[in-house]
Amino acid sequence: MTQELEITTPLTDEELKSIHSGDRLFITGAIYTARDAAHARMIKSLEKGEDLPFDIHGQIVFFAGPTPARPGRTIGAIGPTTSGRMDPYSPRLLEAGLKGMIGKGSRSAAVKEALVKYQGIYCMATGGIAALLSKAIKKADVVAYEDLGPEAVRLLEVARFPVICINDIYGNDLYEQARKEFMEPSKYF
């Protein structure tokens, strides 16, 4: 039975135990945005033994780059980019203490294994509802890699940011489960 859960950050392993694929989560607290370029830099930092631009323990990373905010507004439009492009980087960040990721689209086997091994969840925010999602953002500040513009690391203060859990710590995958339920026979797949 899928649940609707109110989640706060930072995430603890204990909290992750109660989250299952298919659950609708409303996240309140801090979320960090980072896309391809920022991930590449963060992995380089880890490889060099340097500190990451923020304390990653218990945190959630949202694969997103917003439109510029109109004057007087907190943020522009914001929504998920395709998570698969971050697959090469995510296992290392999970190992470093990352607990949640938000994006859209399926993850690789290596990422899903890392979610089980290091205890983390991957969630989907609906793509193309950026006006709605921006309403959940109460504060937004660039905290690293400002030169990357839309791809900078931003710290978002969010209130009831809506996502759906795709991959939980138990190895479940909502994309696979859901597709099986609705797939009809075809000679093409």
Partner 1 sequence: MRIIQASDITEAVAKMAIEACYYLNSEMTEAFQKAKKNEPSPIGRIILQELLDNAKLAKKDLVPYCQDTGLAVVFVELGQEVQIEDGLLNDAINEGIHQGYDEGYLRKSMCDPLTRKNTGDNTPAVIHVSLVEGDKIKLIFAAKGGGSENMSSLSMLKPADGVEGIKKFVIQKCVDAGGNPCPPIIVGVGIGGTFEYAALLSKMALLHPLAHKNPDPVLAKLEEEILEELNKSGHGPMGLGGRNFALAVKILKAPCHIASLPVAVNIDCHAHRHKEMIL
Binding residues for partner 1, rule: CB under 8 A, are 37, 64-70, 76-79, 81-82, 84, 104-106, 124, 126-132, 134-135, 148-151, 164, 174-175, 177-186, 188-189
Q: How far is the CB of 130 from partner 1 (least distance, A)?
A: 4
Q: How far is the CB of 10 from partner 1 (least distance, A)?
A: 25
The span from the CA of 101 to the CA of 121, in Å, is 6
Q: Cis before residue 150, ω within 30 degrees of 0?
A: no
Q: Which of 58, 84 has the CB closer to partner 1?
A: 84
Q: How far is the CB of 58 from partner 1 (least distance, A)?
A: 26
| Alpha-carbon distances, residue 125 vs 76, 148, 188 (angstroms) | 16, 23, 29
Q: Which of 23, 56 has the CB closer to partner 1?
A: 23
DSSP structure class, residue 18: T
The span from the CA of 150 to the CA of 147, in Å, is 9
Q: Which of 27, 31, 39, 153 is catalytic?
A: 39
Q: Which of 66, 91 has the CB closer to partner 1?
A: 66
Q: Which of 9, 81 has the CB closer to partner 1?
A: 81
Residue with tokens 């990721």: 101
Under a CB-based contact definition with an 8 Å cutoff, are residues 115 and 13 in contact?
A: no
Q: How far is the CB of 178 from partner 1 (least distance, A)?
A: 3
Other C-beta atoms within 10 Å of 170: how many? 12
Q: Is 57 a catalytic residue?
A: no
- The set of catalytic residues is 39
